[in-house]
Structure 1
Amino acid sequence: MPIPRRPGPETSAYAVVEEDRIWATELLRKSGLSPTPANQLVLHILRRCPPRHLTVDRLCAVMLTLQEKVPVSTFRSALYQLADAGLVGRVKIERGIPRARHYYELADHPPHFHFFCTQCHALE
């Protein structure tokens, strides 16, 4: 199911705005998931954070800068649940690096290819 990515101005420090909370709640309910604070934060960060592809460590780091925090283990569990439900895409990179790395993105685009730089580890 494609997820509409609503345009909007970037907010300072990725502050959660009411529009994001409403959007995430509607999306989660349509998918049969609970609109928990952790689920909402994952979707909010993936929607507002400028790099499209983020590692779980980067997602957690952004979450910790927000006023609305949840335990890191709960946040990670929510991320994995959203990936399993298809709301979040998971990209696994295995070649060109010593250890497999996962990147996450909103599943708001049709299936597409990714390019990974083995020098700077950027994913496009």
Structure 2
Amino acid sequence: MPEQRLRFARSLYGHANLYGVFTDIAVRWTKKGGTIAYLTPTSFLFGHYYSALRTLIAKEAPPVAIDFVHARRDVFEDVLQETLLAAYKRGAKPGRAQVHYVEVTNEHEARVIRNGTIGLPSPALHC
């Protein structure tokens, strides 16, 4: 709806996606120093529709950890999409986020592999 698009204009580009709107709301509602964590598709990192949201996050809640989930099957019912777990800290200074690779062995086990760090470009990447 037009009034909702106006309210979330700072984080929208083109087609609005619900988890993008949820992320914007989390940034608005989280106190400085608080943590925001989401499980999202990896397309958030590079998809054109998320360029405004990435800029917002880089400015107001930079990532502190990004964990790529290896499995495409059995993570979400009927979804074959790459996913990532990301933790953001509201009001933090931009820095380097820890990157992990999460290998899901079965429904009871997972292995976490540390893969270094990554920093957001300044300004945040607009694909």
TM-score category, normalised to shorter length: 0.3 to 0.5
Structure 1 length as normaliser, TM-score? 0.33
Pair member with larger Rg: 2
Structure 2 length as normaliser, TM-score? 0.33
Which of the pair is proportionally richer in helix? Answer: 1
